Amino acid sequence: MENSTRSDGRAADALRPVSLQPGIAPNASGSVLIRFGHTQVICAATLENNVPRWMREQKVEGGWMTAEYSMLPYSTHDRKPRDISKGRLDGRTVEIQRLIGRSLRAVADLSKLPGMTLCIDCDVLQADGGTRTASITGAYVAAELALRRAIAEGKLKESPLRQAVAAVSVGLLGDTPLLDLCYTEDRDARVDANIVMTGDGRFVEVQASGEESTFSPSEMAALTALAEKGLVELFAAQQAALA
Amino acid sequence: MENSTRSDGRAADALRPVSLQPGIAPNASGSVLIRFGHTQVICAATLENNVPRWMREQKVEGGWMTAEYSMLPYSTHDRKPRDISKGRLDGRTVEIQRLIGRSLRAVADLSKLPGMTLCIDCDVLQADGGTRTASITGAYVAAELALRRAIAEGKLKESPLRQAVAAVSVGLLGDTPLLDLCYTEDRDARVDANIVMTGDGRFVEVQASGEESTFSPSEMAALTALAEKGLVELFAAQQAALA
Amino acid sequence: MENSTRSDGRAADALRPVSLQPGIAPNASGSVLIRFGHTQVICAATLENNVPRWMREQKVEGGWMTAEYSMLPYSTHDRKPRDISKGRLDGRTVEIQRLIGRSLRAVADLSKLPGMTLCIDCDVLQADGGTRTASITGAYVAAELALRRAIAEGKLKESPLRQAVAAVSVGLLGDTPLLDLCYTEDRDARVDANIVMTGDGRFVEVQASGEESTFSPSEMAALTALAEKGLVELFAAQQAALA
Amino acid sequence: MENSTRSDGRAADALRPVSLQPGIAPNASGSVLIRFGHTQVICAATLENNVPRWMREQKVEGGWMTAEYSMLPYSTHDRKPRDISKGRLDGRTVEIQRLIGRSLRAVADLSKLPGMTLCIDCDVLQADGGTRTASITGAYVAAELALRRAIAEGKLKESPLRQAVAAVSVGLLGDTPLLDLCYTEDRDARVDANIVMTGDGRFVEVQASGEESTFSPSEMAALTALAEKGLVELFAAQQAALA
Amino acid sequence: MENSTRSDGRAADALRPVSLQPGIAPNASGSVLIRFGHTQVICAATLENNVPRWMREQKVEGGWMTAEYSMLPYSTHDRKPRDISKGRLDGRTVEIQRLIGRSLRAVADLSKLPGMTLCIDCDVLQADGGTRTASITGAYVAAELALRRAIAEGKLKESPLRQAVAAVSVGLLGDTPLLDLCYTEDRDARVDANIVMTGDGRFVEVQASGEESTFSPSEMAALTALAEKGLVELFAAQQAALA
Amino acid sequence: MENSTRSDGRAADALRPVSLQPGIAPNASGSVLIRFGHTQVICAATLENNVPRWMREQKVEGGWMTAEYSMLPYSTHDRKPRDISKGRLDGRTVEIQRLIGRSLRAVADLSKLPGMTLCIDCDVLQADGGTRTASITGAYVAAELALRRAIAEGKLKESPLRQAVAAVSVGLLGDTPLLDLCYTEDRDARVDANIVMTGDGRFVEVQASGEESTFSPSEMAALTALAEKGLVELFAAQQAALA
């Protein structure tokens, strides 16, 4: 891969420094503060003894995993008004929290969570691009911590999580594929993709999108390969935090 | 591709019968009733002489294209309550209408729509899977009709649309890749993807998602290839309707 | 009645061309596209196996009939924002859908709809005056089709509808009483009335209203007589569509 | 008219005792407490130096008159939750406040209210049937008081009200036409009508409605005649209160 | 206490004229119109045979007392838009109605109200400062009337109210402590306090607040003493109204 | 003061361990994580170049300070649903954020903040009683940090804050006055007070409240004295954090 001149001097195929600090929210069942460079997200998992109404009404067996995502008003340089000030969630927030939830459920056996809901809250403390991929990557760690604790406390027999899940962003800045875009890179990219993958290298979600631009099948392949490289490092960081 | 036993006898790589009936909504600037098998969507484009508030406030030049999507309450076998009865759009609707808008903008030169907004409404009259891909495919035709009329009436100098855009769904039912899923196939598929492409064969959006499932890179490649085959036929159907 | 110079050359006591096209919404239990001249309304009836909460709570026997009314955004020359964009129904919409519901219930024996609700959705595809009267006239046909199907399928023993119901608008343009006003006539009329009547010539609703104007008892009588004339033709059109 | 056995001993063609007590809300420009038997409504008119946004946007000349209607929670035997507890007005409230506004505008020359809005608030203190007709009858008196005061204070040159407006309910209980229905009569009536009339005997609104019932043209005529009789007495009561 | 030059000539330690007129809202279980000078509040108590959902869910024994507060739109010189026009209660309204509810519950033995809720509605008819203290003082009288009636009708064995509760405002205008502030005094005061007290001289609530100002402990003591003087008179007025 | 047996072994007049960690939210103008024992609140101040609409409309000079308060869903043992899930703020939240705003404005000279708004966000990370007093105490530090930075960057000439402000809770558990109540103490206390004070010992707010209980003037005095003792320590902790 060619040399790149990214604002922070990273190689085009380099992640930003990643850190995971467990226990940030002590009242949650499991929590972690995840950092992708300047991006910081509080991920907190709570296990509740009930399931959503639609599951009760449709008599669906097993449990549920869901997520909520929010940007704290001081996470951006210009203060971002709270969702409540408009009375409703914006479209971007809804898309992100649905994506986080689907990502976790893709690696879960919900029958092992009978009558319970695991809710993962992801609150962005500082935003510098990649908040949704950091959220997914941290959400898995928070979920795993909450489930281990529930098993230790005898509330759960075995973990419903079959393996790890993590996510990373990739994009095309001009013709250069970049890994793990920061805010300015994300703003300038003509194609932006988010790849969610399992610990054993299978896709959960592939979302590639050109806002006022398009991309070729071979560009798509290059982006996917770049993401896979970054995800290997993220899985290692998750395991280190859980050790 | 192997023989398939789809409920309607189609081959795994066959589209459902496609039809486009222009003029369904006479008061719109351009409109079409698109059918993908039993799925029917009214697509209607209106050209307005103003731009969204954020463009005025940020003094962005040019125009805008946007979309709204709704399922009519009688489009499903069990009556679907209107969005207004809950007071807000659900997450799925928000995702779909954002996707339709992005798809059109990806093939548009918005500087050729000065001070104007083209709004495409997509109302599902009958739902049988693929409503979002039918909406995108029909939205392009409705938009083209509205723009041609605006040019004919002297309101616009040239078309902001650089080329066609269309979309199709593909999925994995067990291990079989299927093209253009109907409702029951979509419900049973373990992986569901929507591919939005331009007339010259470049991607606009690639969205592949495994709900409680995952997929390999080679499965992803098979799905993409299958979509490309179907999209060629959809571009032909669009051109026929516009001729 | 004196000669009139209506924009479409109609006599003062003439309806616009009426047509009823059954089956427009195949997933509904019964549906029809009704046209009063340029006005087009999709009327779709769905039969559901439950009753409103207030009936359950107050232990009211029998069933219910209700209606929802909406103008599709592209039904008017200037795009009409969807109700959901304001988060609530406007007053006019609420009045119209309550009127449609009352009109149907006036000719119904709700005890013959035990534990069921018949919901009629009326979505205006093109608006040119008289959308509420077209909605009522079409709603009866959609309801009748849905009920016949339910009887044929053994879900219902006999029809709760005792007879037909239809509606027409009349108004005073200056001193001239006009039948079935189109949009420009409705806008310019000083008195506007909507008459809902049963197949055997009894009133269900009489609503006459002078916006910034008033009218004498004899003017009221002339309007009523004119409406009765038009309603005879509408009942015939309904029966033809149902034959 | 035959003898009747109404719960309060009234003749079928008799109003309940009417009273109008001006000045109930001292901070309003004009106010009155109107009583139709046990029904009590506070009617308060406020004159404001602005017009609704739609008038400014459409550059409509002159002024506006509008009304708001509400039932105080303790106006009924079972406490009625406030509108705000549901977050929106119910359909009945919307219909009534639109009717009050139209009734006043029908007797107004809005060009004599340049740049001003007269808002009439009608809050039901005690409900026993006829709250909308009492509201209209009281609203006229409150409006007249507010306008007289504005003229006296030099804020207005002449009154925009051309004449009085009042309203009364009539209905069919079985086959008997009754004037000015109390709550239990209204509940049991098979046809319910509200007639709004001007001081010189012209109609403003005629609304007759059969809930799960119908009525003949001759029944309609009998109801209208009965209402006219009652309205003569109401105009006299208004003039006495304004003297 | 020094001589004062209050706009209405009152001494600094004098209440405005107080009056309580029972029976203002005949359909309520108990009601009173309370006047503190020009301030007028309708206080109406309704006893209902149910408890809030949280009590049922948490299986809390006994009953509940709650309050709702609203300013009628014509209570102020400039018409105050209704809460419903914004779709939600403002912060001040929420604070006041929570305070009224707490004040009543502080003198109540809720176990003597088994399975019932006493709801006190306080609607301000005319606002001239002190609407929250007038509301509390009137709410006690309305509640007492409703409870006496319930006991007389055999619905309740004994009163849950242990003693009277009343409230008064005090404030610092410059350095002068004033009792029972009218609107202009309240607006100009640098410290504003509301004191809620029981008939036997114990505090229920002490709320003192300096908006863009502060106050010393000795000023706090002076204000409290002044309030106690006024409250003795208010308890006497309550007893006279209940006699 | 008598010996106490508080759950954490504290003396009745002892604060919980207090800590203030500046810089928790790097994108805010000033931020601090404040801890009162297990209670943790993120306080973040943002300075914006505009003022609320009411100031512009009423042409009020100077600037504004305001606050928003929220409990993160994982701050409590049982997950607390976000405000947005109900679509509106609850009454308690509104009261608290209004109190935080008033407390800051009481020590501010808003003329020194021309055309600017300082918004302090307080998000509770862990809740164990005293979240509103911790919020006020931390809000002052976050505000001071933001203002110092604005002065250093030349955006502001001098600080609008005249002195420090802090808050502490006190309460009566039985007859024992306790300082700085944790959650279980707060739940069991019969009287709960929050005292907001300036660095030079003047009150900003005194709020004492007996839920289903009352308190004497001498008990009020004891609580106030206890609060003053704790506040001295809080002012010292603030200064240490700012040094």
Q: Which residues does C25 contact at the CB level (< 8 Å), separation at least 6?
A: B72, B74, B75, B125, B126, C31, C42, C44
| D125 contacts in chain E (CB < 8 Å) | 24-25, 42
What residues of chain B lie within 8 A of the CB of C89, using their CB? 84
Inspect the interface and report whether the beta carbons of C214 and D106 lie closer than 8 Å: yes
Question: Quick check: E207 pLDDT over 90?
Answer: yes
Query: Are A205 and B194 spatial neighbours (Cβ–Cβ below 8 Å)?
Result: no
φ, ψ for residue E239, nearest 5 deg: -65, -40
**Residue-wise pLDDT tens digits, B10-60:** 999 999 999 999 999 999 999 999 999 999 999 999 999 999 999 998 888
- Residue D1 pLDDT level (bands cut at 50, 70, 90): very low
More confident residue, E59 or D44: D44
Distance of CA A185 to the CA centre of its chain: 19
CA distance D190 to chain E (A): 26
A106: closest chain B residue by CA: B212
**Which of A132, A71, A57, A150 is closest to A96 using CA atoms?**
A132
Query: According to the model, what pLDDT value does residue A2 have?
Result: 46
Burial status of residue D154 (CB atoms within 10 A of its CB: 0-12, 13-18, 19 or more):
exposed
Would you say residue F199 has pLDDT above 50?
yes
Contact B203 A214 (CB under 8 A): yes
pLDDT at res. B1: 42
Spatial contact of F100 and F132, defined as CB atoms under 8 Å apart: yes
User: Which amino acid would we find at residue D216?
Assistant: S
Written as six digits, the tokens of F31 are 């931020």
Does any CB of chain A come closer than 8 Å to the CB of residue F74?
A: yes
Question: Of E91, E119, E94, nearest to E105 (Cα)?
Answer: E119
pLDDT in tens, E71-97: 999 999 999 999 888 877 888 999 999
The model's pLDDT over C126-167, given as tens digits with 9 standing for 90+, comes to 999 999 999 999 999 999 999 999 999 999 999 999 999 999
Task: Please state, in angstroms and rounded to a whole number, the distance separating the CA atoms of residues D63 and D58.
Answer: 13
The C-alpha atoms of residue C103 and residue F214 are separated, in whole angstroms, by 59
Q: Token pair for residue F106?
A: 């009481």
Element (H, E) at A61: none
Contact assignment for B72 to C42 by CB distance below 8 Å: yes
**Amino acid identity for residue C52 in this structure:** P
Q: If DSSP states are collapsed to H, E and C, what string results for B62-95?
A: CCEEEEEEEECHHHCCCCCCCHHHHCCCCHHHHH
- Cβ within 8 Å, pair F211-E106: yes
The structure's pTM equals 0.88
Q: Percent of chain A, pLDDT > 70?
A: 98
Confidence of residue E41 (pLDDT cuts 50, 70, 90): very high
Residue D172: the pLDDT is 96
With an 8 Å Cβ cutoff, are E75 and D31 in contact? no
| Contact: F46, A125; criterion CB under 8 Å | no
Q: Do E206 and F208 touch (CB under 8 A)?
A: yes
Mean pLDDT over the full length of chain F:
94
- Tens digits of per-residue pLDDT, D167-212? 999 999 999 999 999 999 999 999 999 999 999 999 999 999 987 7
Stated as kind and residue range, the H or E segment containing A19 is strand A18-22
Distances (CA, A) of F167 to D128, F105, F194, F220, F228: 53, 14, 7, 16, 9
Could you tell me the two tokens for E47? 């006893």
DSSP letter assigned to residue E140: H
Q: How confident is the model at residue A108 (pLDDT cuts 50, 70, 90)?
A: very high
CB contacts under 8 A, B 88-147 vs A, are: 88, 91, 94-95, 98, 102, 105-108, 110
- CA D113 to CA D61: how far, in whole Å? 9
Q: Are the C-beta atoms of residues B86 and D88 closer than 8 Å to each other?
A: no
Structure tokens at C243: 């034959």
Partner chains of E (3+ C-beta pairs under 8 Å): D, F
Residues in chain E: 243
Element (H, E) at D196: strand D191-198
Residue D70, chain E, CB below 8 Å: the answer is yes
pLDDT band at B4 (very low <50, low <70, confident <90, very high): low
Q: What is the mean pLDDT of residues F32-45?
A: 98
Q: pLDDT at position D4, please?
A: 55
Q: How far is A43 from chain F (nearest CA, A)?
A: 10
CA pair distance F6, E43, nearest whole angstrom: 43
D74 → closest Cβ in E28, E75, E87: E28
- Quote the DSSP letter at residue D82: P
Cβ separation F27–A76 shorter than 8 A: yes
Neighbouring chains to D with at least 3 Cβ pairs closer than 8 Å: C, E
Q: Phi-psi bin for E165: left (phi > 0), alpha (psi -120 to 50), beta?
A: beta
Q: Does A72 sit within 8 Å of F123, measured CB to CB?
A: yes
Chain A neighbours (≥3 Cβ pairs under 8 A) are B, F
β E176-179/E165-173 pair status: antiparallel
Q: Which residue has the tokens 């009625």?
A: D80
pLDDT, residue C89, reads 85
Q: Shortest CA distance to F227 belongs to which of F213, F206, F241?
A: F206
* Confidence grade of residue C213 (pLDDT, cut at 50, 70, 90): confident
> SS3 helix, strand, coil % of chain E, rounded to 5?
35, 30, 35
Identity of the residue in F27, F84, F125 whose CB atom sits nearest the CB atom of A74: F27
Query: Do residues D124 and D148 make contact, with C-beta atoms less than 8 angstroms apart?
Result: no
A44/F74 CB distance under 8 A: yes
Residue from the list D91, D202, D214 with its beta carbon closest to the beta carbon of C94 = D91
If one compares D212 and B176, the residue with the highest pLDDT of the two is B176
Instruction: Return the residue of D nearest to E69 by Cα.
Output: D82
E91 and F88 within 8 Å at the Cβ level: the answer is no
Query: What angle, 0 to 180 degrees and rounded to 10, lies between the N-to-C axes of helices A131-152 and A91-106?
Result: 40
Tell me what pLDDT residue C1 has: 42
Span F25-44, mean pLDDT?
A: 97
Range from A82-91, B144-153, C151-160 carrying the lowest mean pLDDT: A82-91
**How far is the alpha carbon of F178 from chain A, nearest alpha carbon, in Å?**
25
Task: Give contacts of C215 with chain D, Cβ < 8 Å.
Answer: 202-203
CA distance E151 to E145: 10
* D59 vs D169, residue with greater confidence: D169
Q: Which two tokens stand for residue F89?
A: 């703020």
For F102-136, the pLDDT digits (tens) are: 999 999 999 999 999 999 999 999 999 999 999 99
The predicted model gives C70-86 an average pLDDT of 92
CB of E165 within 8 Å of any CB in chain F?
no
d(CA A32, CA A24): 6
Residue C99: predicted pLDDT: 95
Distance CA E237, CA E36 (A): 11
Nearest alpha-carbon partner for C90 in E68, B136, D54 = D54
Give the percent of chain B with pLDDT over 70.
98
Q: Give the pLDDT confidence score for residue A89 in this predicted structure.
A: 85
Angle between helices B217-242 and B131-152 (to 10 degrees): 40
Chain B interface includes A216 (CB < 8 A): yes
pLDDT above 70: residue B232: yes
Nearest Cβ partner for A91 among B98, B105, B224 = B98
Label residue E1 by pLDDT band (50, 70, 90): very low
pLDDT classification of D229: cutoffs 50, 70, 90: very high
Q: Note the pLDDT tens digit of each residue in C10-40.
A: 999 999 999 999 999 999 999 999 999 999 9
Domains by residue range for chain E, with CATH: 18-242 (3.30.230.70)
A and D touching (3 or more beta-carbon pairs closer than 8 Å)? no
Reported as type and span, the H/E element at residue B206 is strand B203-209
**Pick from A142, A198, A144: which is nearest to A167 by CA?**
A198
Q: What is the DSSP string of D17-70?
A: PEEEEETSSTTSSEEEEEEETTEEEEEEEEEES---HHHHHTT--S-EEEEEEE
Q: Is the pLDDT of residue F2 over 70?
A: no
Q: Does the structure show a pLDDT above 90 at D93?
A: yes
B202, A215 Cβ separation under 8 angstroms: yes
User: What number of residues does chain B have?
Assistant: 243
**F160 SS3 class:** coil
**pLDDT one-digit tens code per residue, C169-187:** 999 999 999 999 999 999 9
Q: Pick the closest to residue E181 from E201, E202, E195 (CA basis).
A: E195
Given strand D64-71, what is the order of strands in its sheet?
D18-22, D30-36, D39-48, D117-126, D64-71
How far apart are the C-alpha atoms of C223 and C189, rounded to whole Å? 13
| D4 CB-near residues (< 8 Å, 6+ apart) | D10, D11, D12, D176, D178
Using DSSP, state whether D1 is helix, strand or coil: coil
**Buried b / exposed e along A204-226 (16+ C-beta atoms within 10 A):** bbbbbbbeebbbeeebbebbbeb
* C-alpha torsion A148→A150→A151→A156, nearest 10: -130
C-alpha C21/C-alpha F223 separation (Å) is 79
pLDDT of residue C85: 83
| CA-based nearest residue to E124, from E180, E73, E179, E195 | E73
Helices (H), C43-108: 53-57, 83-86, 91-106
Give the pLDDT band (50/70/90) at residue A4. Answer: low
